[in-house]
Amino acid sequence: MINLSSEIRFLKGVGEKRAKTLNNLGIDTVGALLRYYPRCYENFSDIKRIDECSFEEKICIKARIISPITEQYIRKNMTIFRFNVFDGSSAMTVTIFNNKYLANKLNEGSTYLFFGKITGTAYKPQMSSPEIREIENGGIRPVYPASFAVSSATIEKLMLNALLCEIPETLPQSIIENYGLCDLKFALKNIHFPYSSEALETAKKRLVFEELFVLQTGLMLLKGKRKIKTDCVISLDYTDEFLSLLPFDLTHAQTRAINECVFDMKSGYAMNRLIEGDVGSGKTAVATALMYITARNGLQSALMAPTEVLATQHYHTVSSMLYGTGINVCLLTGSTTKKQKAEIKEKIISKEFDIVIGTHAIITEDTVFNNLGLVITDEQHRFGVAQRYALSSKGNKPHTLVMSATPIPRTLGLIIYGDLDLSVIDEYPKGRQVIETYCVESSLHKRIYTFIKKHLDEGRQGYIVCPLVEENEEIPIKSAEEYFEELSGGEFKNYRLGLLHGKLKPKEKDKIMSDFAKGEIDLLISTTVIEVGIDVPNAAIMVIENAERFGLSQLHQLRGRIGRGQYKSTCILVSDSKGENTKRRLDVIKNNRDGFKIADEDLALRGPGDFLGNRQHGLPELKIADIFANRDTLKLCGMAAANVLENDPKLKKDENSLLRQEIIHLYKKLNEN
277 binds Mg ion (CB under 5 A): no
Among residues 202, 216, 217, 254, the one that binds ligand ADP under rule CB under 6 A: 254
Give strand pairing partners of 403: 275, 378
Give me the least distance between CB of 535 and ligand ADP, in Å please.
4
- For 587-652, the DSSP string reads HHHHH---HHHHHHHHHHHH-SSSSSTT----PPPPSS--TTTTHHHHHHHHHHHHHHHHH-TT--
Q: Classify 272 as helix, strand or coil.
A: strand
Helix (H) or strand (E) segment spanning residue 526 = strand 523-526
251 binds ligand ADP (CB under 6 A): yes
Residue nearer to ligand ADP on the CB measure, 538 or 577: 538
Give me the least distance between CB of 283 and Mg ion, in Å please.
5
- Scanning 80-88, 158-166, 280-288, 341-349 for contacts with ligand ADP by CB under 6 A, the matching segment is 280-288
307 binds, among ligand ADP, Mg ion, none (CB under 5 to 8 A by kind): none
277 binds, among Mg ion, ligand ADP, none (CB under 5 to 8 A by kind): ligand ADP
Give me the least distance between CB of 309 and ligand ADP, in Å please.
13
Among residues 38, 142, 194, 280, the one that binds ligand ADP under rule CB under 6 A: 280
Residue nearer to ligand ADP on the CB measure, 460 or 665: 460
493 binds, among ligand ADP, Mg ion, none (CB under 5 to 8 A by kind): none
Q: Is 227 exposed, middle or buried (0-12, 13-18, 19+ CB in 10 A)?
A: exposed
281 binds, among Mg ion, ligand ADP, none (CB under 5 to 8 A by kind): ligand ADP
Residues that bind ligand ADP (rule: CB under 6 A) add up to a total of 20
Name the maximum alpha-carbon separation found in the chain: 90
Angstrom distance (rounded) from CA 85 to CA 273: 63
62 binds, among ligand ADP, Mg ion, none (CB under 5 to 8 A by kind): none
283 binds ligand ADP (CB under 6 A): yes
282 binds ligand ADP (CB under 6 A): yes
Q: Are 406 and 335 spatial neighbours (Cβ–Cβ below 8 Å)? A: no
Residue nearer to Mg ion on the CB measure, 59 or 289: 289
Give me the least distance between CB of 251 and ligand ADP, in Å please.
5
Task: Print the binding letters for residues 399-418 with ligand ADP: x by CB under 6 A, - otherwise.
Answer: ------x-------------
Task: Print the binding letters for residues 548-587 with ligand ADP: x by CB under 6 A, - otherwise.
Answer: ----------------x-----------------------
Neighbours of 629 (CB within 10 A): 13
Please state, in angstroms and as integers, the Cα–Cα distance from residue 72 to each residue in 66, 69, 86, 108, 353, following that order.
Answer: 18, 10, 22, 17, 62
Please state, in angstroms and as integers, the Cα–Cα distance from residue 101 to each residue in 105, 133, 134, 639, following that order.
Answer: 7, 14, 15, 48
Sites for ligand ADP among residues 87-146 (CB under 6 A): none
- Alpha-carbon 395 to chain mean position: 26
Closest alpha carbon to 188 in 40, 45, 31: 31
Please state, in angstroms and as integers, the Cα–Cα distance from residue 148 to each residue in 77, 116, 129, 202, following that order.
Answer: 11, 18, 12, 32
> In this structure, what is the dihedral angle of CA atoms 558, 564, 568, 570, given to the nearest 10 degrees?
0
- Torsions phi, psi for 629 (to 5 deg): -60, -35
Give me the least distance between CB of 226 and ligand ADP, in Å please.
25
598 binds ligand ADP (CB under 6 A): no
> In this structure, what is the dihedral angle of CA atoms 208, 211, 217, 219, given to the nearest 10 degrees?
-120
Q: Are 332 and 320 spatial neighbours (Cβ–Cβ below 8 Å)? A: no
Q: Are 461 and 535 spatial neighbours (Cβ–Cβ below 8 Å)? A: no
Sites for ligand ADP among residues 481-540 (CB under 6 A): 533, 535, 537
Sites for Mg ion among residues 531-570 (CB under 5 A): 533
Sites for ligand ADP among residues 297-336 (CB under 6 A): none
Residue nearer to ligand ADP on the CB measure, 14 or 357: 357
392 binds ligand ADP (CB under 6 A): no
Give me the least distance between CB of 48 and ligand ADP, in Å please.
59
Residues that bind Mg ion (CB under 5 A): 533
Residues that bind ligand ADP (CB under 6 A): 248-251, 254, 277, 279-285, 405, 429-430, 533, 535, 537, 564
